[in-house]
Structure formats: C-alpha cells, structure tokens
A = this chain, B = another copy of it.
Amino acid sequence: MEHLQEHEASLEQTQRYCVQRPIYNEELLQGQLHRRERTPQTLRQKIAHSCRCSSKKAKSHLYSCIPILKWLPRYPVKEYLLGDIISGISTGVMQLPQGLAYALLAAVPPVFGLYSSFYPVFLYTFFGTSKHISIGTFAVISMMVGGVAVREVPDEMIPVGYNSTNVTDSLDFDARDTKRVQVAVTLAFLSGIIQLCLGLLRFGFVAIYLTEPLVRGFTTAAAVHVFTSQLKYLLGIKTSRYSGPLSVVYSIAAVLSKITTTNIAALIVGLTCIVLLLIGKEINLRFKKKLPVPIPMEIIVVIIGTGVSAGMNLSESYRVDVVGNIPQGLRAPAVPDIQLIPAIFVDAIAIAIVGFSMAVSMAKIFALKHGYAIDGNQELIALGICNFVGSFFQSFSITCSMSRSLVQESTGGKTQIAGALSSIMVLLVIVAIGYLFEPLPQTVLAAIVMVNLKGMFKQFGDIAHFWRTSKIELAIWVVAFVASLFLGLDYGLLTAVAFAMITVIYRTQSPQYRILGQIPDTDIYCDVEEYEEVKEYPGIKIFQANASLYFANSESYTSALKKKTGVDPCAVLAARRKAQKRHGREIKKANANDVEASVKHEIANDELPVNGRFAEASVQDMSPDEQERFVEPKPNIHSLILDFTPVNFVDSVGAKTLKSIIKEYKEVGVRVCIASCSAPVMNELTRLSFFDNTVTREWLFHSIHDAVLASLVQLGLASGKVSQEPGVVGEDVLFPQDSPATRDRKLSASEITA
C-alpha cells in the first residue's frame, strides 16, 4: 500500500496524486496479474438452485403474489385507519363524477364508468403493491377505449342528424351503445390478459421504452384528443364521433360546422361548472396546508348540476342532454365477446402498456416519497387481474388516475384500504342512489373532464424546457405529440417508441470526434480545441470518438480519423507510388546518375504530406517540377493513439475497420496504439480474432498516458532524438529518419505497391 502511506505523509500540507509504476501495455499487465479462477455454475446446478423448494420460499412467493396477506395482518389500526377512511371518502367522492365523465370519453353509457370505478379498484386492494395510487378510470385510457369503440361501431351506422333530446330513447342508439360496451369490455379483457402475461413473464421492463419526453408528448396529445371530443358535450351540439388518423381535425371541423346549433343553456351550465371547478382547484392549491381535506368540488358541481337540472327540468325545457338511464344494482357477470379480439389486438397492447406505465410511474413517485418498494411485475399482474376480472362485470380498461392518486395520498391515505373504501362508496351509489344522477347534464361531466386536463395542457411548457436541455428529447416529445395527435393514440405511440429507439441509434452512430492533447505535467488528456493549456506531443496524435465502434459508425470513424489527424494513408501511398514510378523512369532515362542521389530521394519520399486531401489532388494536378517540391520533408506523425475509453462494445465490422486502420497506417510508417480498452471490449476483440501475429496485445495500453510514454520510449531508443531536443512542441519532426525498423517497413510497403 505504497500509495496510502505516501498520501498520509503529505496529508496535512497538500493532497497530491502520486503514481509511480511501470508503463503498462495489456501484455505486461496480464502477465503480472492472476486471473481469479471461477467455476461457473453448470446449467444443472442453476436449475437445481432455482427449483429448490422450501416452505419459506413458498410463503414468500405467496406473499409476493397476494401482497395483502403480508400487510393486512400487520395493519396498525389505531395509527392508520382514520387516515385511510378520510382518504377513502375523499377519493370515492372523486371516483363518482370521474367515472361518469370518463364513460362519455370511452363512448359507453355513464353507468359503465361506475362499474369500472368499483370492481377493479376493489381488486387492486388485494394484489397491488403501491399503497397510494388510486386505480380506476383515467382520461387517456378512456379516450383510447373510446377511439376503438367508435372505430369498431361507428356513428354512421345510425342517422346522425337525429333530433331527439334524449339519446337513449332510440332503439338504434341502444343497439350501438350495447355494441360499444361489448368492444370496451373485450378490450379490457384482452388488455388484462396481456398485462397478466407480461407480468408473469417478468416483462415489466417494456415500460422503460416509454421515456419521459415520450410519455409527456403522448399525454399532451391525448389531452388535445380528449378536449376536442368533449367540446360537443360542452356546447350541446350533436356530431358524430371520429376515430383513427386525423380524427382530431374531423372532430373540430364537425363542431365548427355545427357551431350555430349550440345549446345556450348547456353552454352556460358547462361554463359555470368550469369556473367553479377552477376556483375549487385554486383554493385547494392555495390553502393546501390550512384545509384538512381538499374541497371535493367535483362532487359539489355534480350535485348542484343535478339539482338545477332536475329543478329547472333542463332536459325537456332547454333540450339539454342529460346522463339518462342509470340502471340500479349490479349486472350479472358475462363472458366478453371473444370474436372481437383479432380486430382490437393491437389497441389492447397499446392500452395495456400505456396503462401499466402510467400506474407504475405514479407508484414509483409515491414509493420514493414514502420509502417503500413497489414490484413492477406484481403491479403488472395486479392491473392485469383488475382489467381481466373487471371485464366479466362490464367494466372497461382502467389504470391509475393522477388527480385522484394525489388526493388519496394528500388526504392521509396510508394503505390500499383507502382505495377499497373509495370503491365501496361507488358500490353504494350504484346499488342505492345511482338513479338520482339521471338528470345530470352531460355538459357538467364535460366540464369536469376538461378541467382535469389542465395539468396535461401545462405540459406544452415542456417544449421550452426541452429546447434548453436537450434537442433530442425535444424531438422525441414533438414526434410523440404530433404522431399521437394526427395518427391516433395507438399508432402515435408506436411511432413515438420507434423514434425514441432511433434516437439512441443516432446518438451512438454520430459521435463527436476529437483530437486530445495533454495538460502539461499531468496524465490528463483533453480536447485540444477546448483549453489553451492543452498541448500535443509532436508526432503523436490522440484520437477519440465518444461512442462504441460498430457497423453503423465504423465508416465515419475511419473518415473522421483521416480528417482529424490530417493523414490519409491511401493518399500517402498513392503519392509514394507516383514518386517511385517517376523515380523508376528517371533511372531508365539517366542511368548515369549517381546511385547515392536516388537513395536520398527515396528517403525524402518517405515523408508524409500533412494533409492527405491536398496530397491526392496535387499528385495528379502537378507538373513534375511541382512534384519535386511536394516530396520535400514535412512535419508529420509517427504514432497514432486511438482512445478506446468510450468504446463499450465492438462488433465484427468494427474489429475489421480497426484492423484495416492499423494495417493502412502501418504501411505508411505510423504506429497505431489503442489506449484504455476495457476488459469486455478486449474479450470481444479476442473472440472476433482481432489479435494475431501482426496485431498483438502489446499495442493495447492501459491508458493514454501509458501509450504516449511508450511511444516516446520507442522513439527515444530508436533515434535518441527526444533527449537531444527536449520540450519541442508543434512543428518539429520527430520522425525517425532512417532507423532499421522504418527502413524495413518502407521496403515492405514498396513491395506491396510493386
């Protein structure tokens, strides 16, 4: 522990970084180290290990599958129950209006929103691992469900300009709604199965592809979709509902074309509700600390709306659309319509993944805040069970709602008990007083939906934020937004995920190429263009690309190397060949010439032109006189160090590129070293049979500084020039003019060209 002691000695005065060790290339380093012998587990051992069975293991397995078994027996009633009850009531009071409102989005009658706010919420209590998220209807998912329902059962099947004030009066509408419910329910069934399968297969990681900018762009687009779909309810206009690509444009156009038929009474009620809800939100935000429980403005608005509507008979006097028939009690379970599956499979995948990623991202935020762990795969299984089982009881796809979850957590909810209580509140409404909400105007629900979009619309601010922080993430946001807005949420999401992956390729494919130089008196090498202090050793070029070397960037790596170092072996070889040919002709022409002179000439040719490009152009454009000038000695490089610090993997194309670089530069007398090649990359290179008798591990150095020192040593031993001219910088030629090694190299190069 030479270091530690050294370091302690100087501890009080200065903290210095002191290292003294041999110059390590990989050959030397590997020779000094002893590889730890690892007996890898055989497949049989692995299987035996994973199949080993014990009661403890079974118990922990059971606990992880049904988490309630673990936490309920230990439930501290005194401490938690009050908080859970308050939180449960507050959340339940939100579940009600949101369930009714989001059912409109899902294109199903409102009562199905209530079913969706009961069954899955109750089930989650048993299987969920997050203590604070509120499962249930959610705008984005409901919108996606609605899009599919409308696509499969379009409005065109019934007359559009229908004039009745009460929609459900018509048998046609009933038939349509029944079919749409079937679609929505089958979608929940299928997305539940998909989530369940993904969870059982431990595929929870798929959500990682939904990066934050993508999700935010996507949800912003969803908010626009939701907003446009609610406009007609707010204005009391009757238009058909659109789905698929450009549905937003069609929806807005349809609303605008019928803007003259606006129902003033509905609009007034709707706008009043919006104002009330916004005031309520503002108060809840401002007096967050003073209020014991946030004001449940949504349920207040619903109650007032229902009262006003019933009192003034809005439905019949003013032809305001109301919620209409809410059947009392629950429905008997029914099997979803399996035949619909092929048509909605892709949508189900999209809903399953979006639903999961919403829930798990929210769950993670709370878990982090309250210091407990959630299990992504178990969450997936829980959501899957909620959707799957719920679908038998006519509920549509659900996930976690952000607004409700925030309320559940902030009102003191401690465990899943709060969620269970909120679902029981919804149940009570369904079985007891649901019919009371029949006169509720739809415009009130539209107002609730729209005000809940406020947070999502705020995400437009992301554009400015990502513009400042990262253009690539801005691009992901914009692509996710635009694609989801115009292609529809399903294809939009797919496009956005594909685009996000392409950005990763792009990042690895177009790296920054830099020439490094030393900060004097240190082992630190930086970009020469960045700092004034950075100096290059004469004759040594250090090249770095901040990416791995593989098929998509190996070509640009080579060309950047030639451009940045200013040495293109092809051009140099071409120039040299030209000169040799001329030399041959000269010998033929004038045999009387001195032999010594021609040898001198050949040596001169060995000097490389600084700029390969220039050399190439000049050789072919110049007269012989000019060529004479061209072959004059010029400052040049003898060593090229490729910094492999940022290289994390190499494929066969990369290895071949590397090998041809080494070969090409060797032909023109430049020694190529590789510095800081990590162990995994070295293993990959070995497997790709990169090392042979021409390229050995001696060309690999532990660090750039090792490689530089080794180059200097090699040079010093060969010509002794370093010691004669210490400290020379920049313009000096340190190229060994006629050492035996280079002489050999030169001969072999000319042999190749012969």
Copy tally for this chain in the complex stands at 2
**Quick one: given A17-B20, A17-B21, A652-B470, are A504 and B508 in contact (CB under 8 Å)?**
yes
Residues of B within 8 A of A532 (CB): 33-36
Q: Restricting to A8-46, which residues have a CB under 8 Å from any CB of B?
A: 8, 11, 14-24, 29, 32-36, 38
Is B574's CB under 8 angstroms from A7's CB? no
* Contact present for B723 and A8 (CB under 8 Å): yes
A276-284, A340-348, A516-524 - interface stretch: A516-524
Most buried by B among A5, A11, A19: A19
Q: For A469, list chain B residues within 8 Å (CB).
A: 652, 687-689
B705 touches A473 (CB 8 A): no
Judged by a CB distance under 8 angstroms, whether A500 is at the interface is yes
A368 interface hit (Cβ, 8 Å): yes
Q: Which residues of B contact A211 (CB under 8 A)?
A: 550-552, 651, 653
Which of A144-152, A188-196, A399-407, A707-715 sits within the interface?
A: A707-715
Contact with B along A675-712 (1 / 0, CB 8 A): 01011100010011100000000000010011001101
Are B23 and A17 in contact, CB atoms less than 8 angstroms apart? yes
Report whether A533 and B33 are in contact in the complex, using a CB–CB cutoff of 8 Å: yes
Q: Which single residue of chain B is at the shortest CB-CB distance from A554? A: B208
Q: In the complex the two chains form, is A546's CB within 8 Å of B680's CB?
A: yes
Known: A19-B19, A551-B211, A709-B15. A520 touches B373 (CB 8 A): no
Does B468 contact A687, Cβ atoms closer than 8 Å?
A: yes
- Write the nearest CB–CB distance from A715 to chain B, whole angstroms: 11
Query: Is the beta-carbon distance between B17 and A530 smaller than 8 angstroms?
Result: no
**Most B CB within 10 A of own CB, among A3, A502, A509, A529:** A3
A502 in contact with B501 (CB, 8 Å): yes
In the assembled complex, A318 has its CB within 8 A of some CB on chain B: no
Q: Are B371 and A574 in contact (CB under 8 A)?
A: yes
| A372 at interface, CB cutoff 8 A | yes
> Which of chain A's residues 338-392 have a Cβ closer than 8 Å to chain B?
368, 371-373
A472 at the interface (CB under 8 A from B): yes
Knowing A17-B705, A551-B208 are in contact, say whether A2-B520 is a contact too (CB < 8 A): yes
Query: Which of B5, B213, B709 touches A726 (beta carbons < 8 Å)?
Result: B5
- The 0/1 profile, CB within 8 Å of B marked 1, for residues 478-517 of chain A is 0000000000000000000000111011011101100000
Verify B11–A16 contact, CB threshold 8 A.
no
Closest B residue by C-beta to A369: B752
Q: Are A651 and B473 neighbours in the complex by a CB distance under 8 Å?
A: yes
11 A-B contacts, Cβ less than 8 Å apart?
A: A1-B726, A8-B716, A17-B24, A17-B706, A32-B533, A33-B519, A208-B509, A211-B651, A212-B551, A500-B551, A547-B648
On A, residues with C-beta under 8 Å from B are 1-5, 7-8, 11, 14-24, 29, 32-36, 38, 70, 74, 205, 208-209, 211-213, 368, 371-373, 466, 468-470, 472-473, 500-502, 504-505, 507-509, 511-512, 519-524, 526-527, 529-533, 546-548, 550-556, 570-571, 573-574, 577, 616, 620, 645-646, 648-649, 651-653, 656, 660, 676, 678-680, 684, 687-689, 702, 705-706, 709-710, 712-713, 716-717, 722-723, 726-727, 753
